Every structure is written in structure tokens, then in C-alpha cells.
């Protein structure tokens, strides 16, 4: 974010809907709508151009669905948080969209009351779903491998980023890691920043816990 200002990209194939969403967000002084897109392809291009903090996206787009657009945003290196704003019921799409990388899910029927709070929440790293959706989440995730999400986060990293993660967890300093990998300490710090952006690890104890959960280290 630029200071405390949250930069938002709106993605919906209906101009009237975008106008209404923009009007709701305009009531918040800490939110700035930096762009609007009417398709998934346009959203990907504008995300690269404007580097928003939050992408508010519908599921039904003309050229691709919101899930595919969310995955492609991540694949292209976007650090924007994705907030789904749709008429589709949570029962059908909430869990798949969170698995695709979305940080929040909000029905359009409550957008006038909850949209600003939802944008702020995901912009600050939280997951936003309505309290009513807790049952859906519980039902969706109880059948899943509890480590699947951890492995999915790890798979976002390149081989070199995984090396830096493992060596950091083992206790090596940036100069020591650089010596082992034949790169400079500054480059090691660059990889650590990428790890933080992709996986959310910033302190060594977080590296250790993450690596232990994935079996990269032995306790």
C-alpha cells in the first residue's frame, strides 16, 4: 500500500455494477479505485500496469471465470489480494475460490454494508468471509489433507527460493547462505523478500516452523 491508501482494481463485465461498487468504495477515504476492467484479460493487463493492493473481481466474466483470473494473477507475480464480489452462492464457490488464491468472498447482496470492511481486511492480510460462511468452510476443509495448503504455498517458490528458505530455517545467515549458493548476501535478501511476498514468512522462527511442518527439517 502507498502509505495508508488502499489501491483497488475493479473487475466486472457490467459497467453499471462497477459504477455502483466504485460509489460504495468512494465513501472510504483510505481506498482509491485506480482502475476498472470488464474482462479477465483486461484485469491481468491492468493489474500489471497499476499494481493494485486489492482486486475486487466477479466470478462471471466474458472470457474467463474469476477463479482462472485469480490463478493467473498469482502466476504473473501479482501481490494483489483478491476479493470475490459475486451473486453466486457461497455454498458452490467459496472453498474453490479460496483454494484458487482469493483472500475474501462477498455476495453482492451485502456489498453496500460490508464491502469497505472486506477490502480493508484483505488489504491488511486477513481472510474475509461472512460469519454465515463458517459452516461452509468447515465442511469444505474437514475432508482435505491438512498439509495441502502448506504444500501449495511451498510450490509457489522457485528452486532457489526453496534453498534459501531451507538454509534460513537451518540457522544460516545471509552471508553464509550466499557463500553456499554462490550468490551475494544482497541477492539472498532479495530471495527472502520474494519468499515473504509469496509465502508470508518474515522471521526465522516462521521459517523453522514452516520447514518442520513440510518435513524439510527434522526437529
Interval 152-170: pLDDT, tens: 889 889 999 999 999 999 8
**Which stretches within the chain are classed as H helix?**
15-25, 40-50, 66-75, 90-100, 111-123, 134-141, 148-154, 159-169, 174-181, 185-199, 204-213
CATH 3.40.50.2300-classified regions of the chain: 6-141
- CATH number for the domain formed by residue range(s) 6-141: 3.40.50.2300
So what's the pLDDT on residue 1?
Answer: 65
* pLDDT for res 96: 85
pLDDT reported for residue 148: 72
pLDDT for residue 49: 94
C-alpha span between 68 and 7 (Å, rounded): 22
The torsion angle over the Cα atoms of residues 102, 106, 112 and 115, rounded to 10 degrees, is -30
Q: Which pLDDT score is estimated for 139? A: 65
> Given CA atoms 178, 184, 187, 193 in this order, what sign does their dihedral have?
positive
Q: What is the pLDDT of residue 219?
A: 47
- Residues forming CATH 1.10.10.10 domain(s) in the chain: 148-213
Q: Which pLDDT belongs to residue 153?
A: 84
Q: Which residues of the chain have pLDDT under 70?
A: 1-3, 134, 137-147, 218-219
Dist. CA 95–CA 84, nearest whole Å: 12
Pick 148-213's CATH classification: 1.10.3720.10, 3.40.50.2300, 1.10.10.10, 1.10.760.10: 1.10.10.10
Output the pLDDT for position 178: 95
Amino acid at each position: 500500500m502507498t502509505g495508508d491508501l488502499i489501491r483497488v482494481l475493479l473487475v466486472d463485465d457490467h459497467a453499471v455494477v462497477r459504477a455502483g461498487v466504485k460509489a460504495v468504495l468512494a465513501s472510504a477515504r483510505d481506498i482509491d479505485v485506480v482502475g476498472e476492467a470488464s474482462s479477465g484479460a483486461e484485469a491481468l493487463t491492468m493489474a500489471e500496469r497499476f499494481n493494485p493492493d486489492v482486486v475486487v473481481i466477479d466470478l462471471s466474466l466474458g472470457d474467463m471465470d474469476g477463479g482462472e483470473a485469480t490463478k493467473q494473477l498469482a502466476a504473473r507475480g501479482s501481490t494483489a489480494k483478491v476479493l470475490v464480489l459475486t451473486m453466486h452462492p457461497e455454498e458452490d464457490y467459496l472453498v474453490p475460490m479460496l483454494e484458487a488464491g482469493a483472500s475474501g468472498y462477498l455476495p453482492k447482496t451485502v456489498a453496500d454494508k460490508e464491502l469497505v470492511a472486506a477490502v480493508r481486511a484483505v488489504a491488511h492480510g486477513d481472510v474475509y468471509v461472512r460469519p454465515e460462511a463458517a459452516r461452509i468452510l468447515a465442511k469444505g476443509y474437514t475432508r482435505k489433507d491438512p498439509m495441502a495448503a502448506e504444500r501449495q504455498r511451498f510450490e509457489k517458490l522457485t528452486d532457489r527460493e526453496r534453498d534459501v528458505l531451507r538454509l534460513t530455517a537451518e540457522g544460516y545467515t545471509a552471508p553464509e547462505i550466499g557463500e553456499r549458493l554462490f550468490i551475494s548476501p544482497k541477492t539472498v535478501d532479495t530471495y527472502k523478500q520474494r519468499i515473504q511476498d509469496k509465502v508470508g514468512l518474515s522471521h526465522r522462527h516462521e521459517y523453522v516452523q514452516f520447514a518442520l511442518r513440510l518435513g524439510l527439517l527434522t526437529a
